[in-house]
Chain A
Amino acid sequence: MKIKSTKTALASAIALSLVSATFSSSLFAQDYYLCAKQGTKTMSDTTVIPMWGFALATDAVDQAAGCAAAITVPGPALTVPVGDNVLNIHVKNIDLPEAVSVIIPGQHAPMTPVMSAPDAQGRQRVISFTHVASMTDASASTYTWSSMQPGTYAYQSGSHPAVQVQMGLYGAVTKDAAAGQAYASASTAYDSEMTVIYSEIDPVLHTQVANIGTPNEPKYGSTGMTSTIDYNPQYFLVNGDDSSTGTPIAGAPLQTSLIRFINMGLETHIPTLHGDDMAIIAEDGHAYTNARNQYSVMVAAGQTRDVLFTPPAGPGDYPLFDRMLNLTNKTPPFVTAGANGVLTSPGSLVTVLQVGTNADTDNVLDHKDNCLLEVNPAQMDTDKDGFGNACDADLNNDGIVNTQDIPLFITAFQANSQLVDLNEDGVANTGDIPELIRMFFTEPGPTGISN
C-alpha cells in the first residue's frame, strides 16, 4: 500500500519533473521510460507465478540497456505534475514474445489500431488498440497524451488485452488538478492519498502463457488454452500483494484521505468500508457533479473510482474489504483450526485503514503504539507487559529502571535473550547497552495502549 503525504508527493513530483526535464521532448512534458519484461511473482503460498510487467528505467540509456530494475506488478506508479499537459511513455519490449502497447482509458490520444489480416470471410480483428512495441524493435515506442486530464487512471497494455492485462502489464497513472486537490472542484481537496489496485491471477493461464516460446507444454494459443474464456482466478491481490498483511495509515482523525481505487482484475470488486462512509467523487477520472456518500463502492473491471475518506475524531480502525468476498487464495488450509476454535485467514483484498496520530512518526499510530515516543516500528514487547522493548528496560517490572534491573539485564544479555533487545534490532547485543543507560531512573513507557 503506497501512502504519501501531500508534501512528499509534491516533492517527488518536483524531483521527477526535474529529472525528466532532461529528457523531455517539450518543456512541460512528463516522460517515463518503461521496459516490458518477463518476471515472476512469489505468492504467499510460495507458488511462483510467471508474470509480464513494466519496469521503470532511470533514463533512456538504462532503458536501451534493458532496464536494471526488475518488473513490478502493478507497474511503477506514474504521476503527471500539476500543470503538465503532456505525458510521454516510452516503452521498450525487452523479452515479451507478444508485441505490447500502452493505453490509458479515460484519457484521449490518437490511436492507430493494429488489425489482423482478413480471414477467409474477409473479417479483420483488432490485435492492438494502438501501435505496438515488439521485442525486435531497435528502439522504444513512444505513447503520447498531449492533453492529460487530472484524475486517477490505469495505464495498461492495449495489445491482446485478454491476455496481457491479466499477465500484469498495468499500473496507476495520476494527475492532480492542483496541489493536494484531485479534481477541479475544491471539494476534492485531500490531506493524504493512497492508491489501492485490485487484481487477480489465474495461475494456469499465466503458466500456459509463459510456455509460449519454450519447449514446455501446454502453451497458450496452441497446445493449451486457445482463449481466456475459462479464466479462473485463484489469487486476489491488493497492490500486488496476495496476503494483504498491510495496515495502512489513512491519516489522522478529521483529515481527508483520497483513496484511488483501481481494478485491474477481470471481475468486479466492491471495497466496503466499516465504521464510516466514503464520499465517491469520480469514476474513470471523471468527477461527479455531486459526491455520492456510500460505505461500499463498486469498482468494475478496468475501472477507477476515487473516494474521500474523512474519519471522525478519535483514533480507530476501519476494515476495508472486497464485499464480493474474494478473500482467500487457492491453497489450503483456508482456515486453520486451533486449540479452541481459533482460525486464521490468509486474507486478500483486505486491509484495515488505521486512523490516528503518530507522535514518534514510526508509523505505529499512538493508540496502538507500545512506545509512544520511541521509534519502534517492530513493536517488540518480549515480556508482554504492554511496554515495548524500546521503552522498557524495567526488567523486574517494578515500575522503575534502577540498579535492581542490572543483574537481570546481564543474565538476559548473556543468554542472548531478546528481553534486553532494547533497540529492537532483533538481537541482544552491545547496541542495547546505551539504551539501558538512557532509560535509567525512568519509568517504562509511555505507551498509547490502554490498560
Chain B
Amino acid sequence: MKNFKMHKLYIAMLATGIGMFSTNTIAVPFIQCPGDNFLSDGVTPGSNGVPEVVDPNVKCLHLSAGDGFATMADGRELYIFSFGDITGSDEANAIDDGIMFANLPAPTIVLEQGQEVYLSLTNVGMVLRPDLSDAHTVHFHGFPNASAIFDGLPDTAISINLGSTMTYYYNLAQPGTFMYHCHVEASEHMQMGMLGNLYVKAAQNKLPDGTNLNGFIHNAGNEYVYNDGDGSTFYDVEYPIQLTGMDPDFHDANETVQPLPFANMKDKYPLINGRGYPDTVIAGPLPAPVKNGGLVTQTQDSNITAVQGQKILLRVSSLSVTRFYSLKSLGLDMQVVGMGAKPLRTAADTANPYTTNTITLGGGEAIDVIIDTTGVAPGKYFLYTSNLNNLSNNTEDFGGMMTEIEITL
C-alpha cells in the first residue's frame, strides 16, 4: 500500500496536463469482495475491497493495471506497464490511486491453500500513452484445472477495458509456486513489466502442533512448500526469486510511440525481482523513480538472509520474455524439491529431490529450491546467473542477475 494522498496530488498534476480522464467518463470500479460493506460516505454502502465481516478463508485483492517507471541499477529509468496493489482503496479513489502506479515486479501475491480469492483488476489506463486503450488481464500462471473465464487469456475469454474493473475468482485447491502476468498482447505487455510473483502456501502448515508426519513431528509454525506428509519440504525462511529482463530499446520505443522491436528484442537489463545487482540486495523498497513523481514502485527486494542452520526456500520463477537463464549458487548447495507447483516425488509417494548448484529456467517455469545452511560458515554467498555476460546492467559491469545470501550465526 502507498501514500494515497501524495499520489493524488501528482495524478492531478499529470492528468490535467494530458487531459486524459474527465471524472464523468469513468465508471466507479465494481470491487467484489464478500463481507465488504464499506460506507464511503457513512451512509451509502460501497466497497473498498476490505471485508468488514472477516472470513479467514476469503482473500480479497485489488490490483491496478497501468503504466509508470522503474529504476534500473545503473540509474536509468524505464517506462513500464504493470500492476499496482490498491487493495483498500475505495471505489471512489481506486482509479486515481492506480494511475502511474505500475510496480516492478508487480506486487508479490502470497496466498494460502484453501482460500477463496477475489482479485479485482482495475484498468486505469496509460498516462503516458493516451493513444493506447489496451485492455488488461491477470493470468494466474499454472492454476490447476483452470476455467477459461478467469485464465486471463484475451483470445479465449474477456479482458477488462480502460476504466473498468473485473473480479477474478480462484479457489485455491493446491499449494505451490506460481506466477502471474497480463496476457493481453503478451509479447509487449510482458516485456513492459506486467509480471509478478505469486505463490500458495501449503495447508500442511496449519496442522495441529505435534502432528506426526510419517516420523517428522510438525510443530506449530512449521512451514512446508507442499503437503509432503513427511516434512521433506520443511523450510524456515522463504524468498520469491523471479527472473526477468528488460530491453531498454523496447521500453523507449513504447514511451516515444515508435514501432516495437519484437524481432530484435534483447534483454540488456537482466533482473531478479525487477532489479539488477546491487539493487537486488537493498532491503526494502528502492527510492521512487524521479519520473514517477515520487511514487515508490519497486518494493520486492532479493536480500536473502538466514541464520546458520536454517533452511532457506527459494521460490524461483522465470517470466523472461526472451531466453533461458541458468542460476548458480556458489558455496551453497540447492536441493530441488519441486517444479511447476508440484513436489518432486516418486509414484510410491516418497520424496525425490535432487541436489545441484545450477538451475535453468525458461519463461513460465518455476523451481522450488531449499538451501540447508546447517554447518555453513557465516558470511556472504552469491546467487547469480552463470550466463555470466548477464552480470551486467546494460553497459554497466558488475551488476545484472545476481543477489547475495547472508548467513549469520
Contact = CB atoms under 8 A, between A and B. Distances in A.
Q: Do A and B come from one complex?
A: yes
Interface of A: 103, 105-106, 108-113, 116, 123-127, 129, 158, 160-163, 165-166, 221, 225-231, 266-268, 283-286, 288-289, 298, 300-303
Interface residues of B, number: 43
A255 to B, nearest CB: 27
A108 B279 CA distance: 27
Contacts of A163: 397
Interface stretch (B53-61, B112-120, B324-332): B324-332
Interface in B373-405: 376-377, 379-382, 385-400, 402, 404
B389 A231 contact: yes
B398 A301 contact: no
A283 B392 contact: no
Given A113-B380, A289-B352, A301-B326, A123 B388 contact: no
B395 A227 contact: yes
A162 B401 CA distance: 11
A116 B326 CA distance: 25
A286 B333 contact: yes
A126 B404 contact: yes
B388 to A, nearest CB: 5
A54 B235 CA distance: 41
A266 B393 contact: no
Contact of B389 (A106, A228, A300): A228
Contacts of B398: 116, 125-127, 160, 162
Contacts of B394: 227, 229
B392 A228 contact: yes
A301 B379 contact: no
Given A227-B392, A229-B390, A231-B389, A103 B326 contact: no
B356 A226 contact: no
B204 to A, nearest CB: 23
Contact of A226 (B277, B279, B387, B396): B396
Nearest to B328: A302
B331 A108 contact: yes
Interface string B259-273: 000000000100000
Nearest to A107: B331
A127 B398 CA distance: 7
Contacts of B400: 229
Contact of B388 (A103, A109, A162, A268): A162
A289 B331 CA distance: 22
Contacts of A302: 326, 328, 358, 386, 388
A207 to B, nearest CB: 16
Contacts of A267: 387
B40 interface: no
B58 to A, nearest CB: 41
Contacts of A129: 330, 382
Given A105-B328, A125-B399, A129-B330, 6 more contacts: A112-B379, A125-B278, A161-B391, A227-B395, A301-B386, A301-B387
B408 interface: no
B326 A110 contact: no
A165 B391 CA distance: 12
Contact of A298 (B268, B282, B360, B402): B360
Nearest to A263: B386
Nearest to B335: A286
8 contacts: A105-B328, A105-B329, A123-B282, A129-B382, A166-B388, A226-B396, A228-B389, A302-B358
Given A161-B391, A268-B324, A106 B357 contact: yes
B397 A227 contact: yes
Contacts of A126: 380, 382, 398, 402, 404
Contacts of A229: 268, 389-390, 392, 394-395, 400
- Minimum-distance CB pairs A-B, first 3: A302-B386, A231-B389, A227-B392
A117 to B, nearest CB: 12
Contact of B393 (A103, A110, A227): A227
A428 B290 CA distance: 82
Contacts of A228: 388-389, 391-392, 397
Contacts of A225: 395
B278 A266 contact: no
Contact of B397 (A124, A162, A231): A162
B396 A227 contact: yes
Nearest to B358: A303
Contact of A105 (B324, B357, B377, B387): B357
Given A113-B380, A289-B352, A266 B396 contact: no
B387 A110 contact: no
Nearest to B397: A227
A431 to B, nearest CB: 53
A423 to B, nearest CB: 50
B354 A123 contact: no
Nearest to A288: B354
B355 interface: yes
A110 B377 contact: yes
A266 B355 contact: no
Contacts of A226: 395-397
B386 A300 contact: yes
A97 B284 CA distance: 37
Nearest to A126: B382
Contacts of B391: 161-162, 228
